[in-house]
A and B are shown apart, each in its own frame.
Chain A
Amino acid sequence: MSDQKDLLRAPFELAYNYKRSSGPLMSKFFDALAEQKILGTKSSTGKVYAPAAEFDPETHESLSDLVEVGPGGVIESFSWIEEPKHHHLIKNPFAFALIKLDGADTSMLHMVTECDEEDLKIGSRVTANWSATIENRITDIKFFTLEK
């Protein structure tokens, strides 16, 4: 047996350069982000899914009625990241949070920062901060911050 210290070691990166087709409905959702708007979809029961969903998980109907939600909302749950790792988009302490946007009945996962862990509570009001660069991605919302 070799000594542990004699073993060969090397970094190895596996990369998949996927291109994702958003489809007709989600394309509208991502296009709206470029205009700093967040869209949800309304089902026949009146329930609003945000971010937009293509199908209603309860009635199974195809959804197409887009409605604007947010940019403010309420934290439903969160997980505080005290020491972000290199792959995290925010380098300062932040929280991953489920945020129920105003006008929506469901919550979406995003990041909340520029606050201390003690400042965050389930029920805290937050609002979207927009990225300077527009890429038609969910990261066009840079993060959420506590409402002043």
Chain B
Amino acid sequence: MSEEEKKDYAESPINLEYHYTAGSATTRFLNQVKEGKIVGQSCPKCSAVYVPPRGSCPRCGVATNIEVPLTDKGCIESFTIVHIPIPGNPIVPPYVCAMIRLDGANISFLHLIQGIDVEEIRIGMRIQAVWKPKDEWTHSLENIKWFTPIDEPDVDVATLRFQES
């Protein structure tokens, strides 16, 4: 880089400092995550199961006051292969971010997929959580290192659509 080019750029970092308060529903959820358990919350009206729970059912507008223990198995509802590195992110591209639909849940959440060639990933693939060692568990879904494919038949994601009972 020439001297002239270097001068044309100025470091201009922006830092936003927040104090995050989890709220009642997320606190309940994260306290279970700390123990290695995934517990969703269910709507008393339409019975939809939310994980991670936000405390209310967006469909019915009521509090999700029923705790529903879930497994750490599910399927890939959608995914993206990331090729561009993000500054400060230790994961080396290409890697896969996927929307994970746990068995028994009616919404999905974002997590990593590892342990498979990125070209092999497909929607509907069965996956299971790979947990960090127990002594590293905190109040965070990062207790799960990533999800990895398991030897089970694919799921037709169209069947996952919520059906009102």
A10 at the A/B interface (Cβ < 8 Å)?
yes
Q: Count contacts between A and B, CB distance < 8 Å.
A: 79
- Interface residues in A, total, Cβ within 8 A: 26
Which residues of B15-31 have CB atoms within 8 Å of chain A's CB atoms? 15-24, 26-28, 30-31
Q: How far is the CB of A12 from chain B (nearest CB, A)?
A: 4
SS of B interface (majority): mixed
Question: Is A17 touching B8 in the complex (CB atoms < 8 A)?
Answer: no
Given contacts A1-B24, A2-B24, A8-B22, contact A15 B12 (CB under 8 A): no
Q: Report B1-17 CB contacts with A as 1/0, cut-off 8 Å.
A: 00000011111111111
Question: Is A7 touching B24 in the complex (CB atoms < 8 A)?
Answer: yes
Bound Cα distance A148, B14 (Å): 36
| CB neighbours of A137 from chain B (8 A) | 10
A136 at the A/B interface (Cβ < 8 Å)?
yes
B58 at the A/B interface (Cβ < 8 Å)?
no
- Interface residues in B, total, Cβ within 8 A: 26
Return the chain A residue nearest B65 by Cβ: A1
Question: Is A20 touching B20 in the complex (CB atoms < 8 A)?
Answer: no
Which residues of A1-37 have CB atoms within 8 Å of chain B's CB atoms? 1-2, 6-23, 27, 30-31
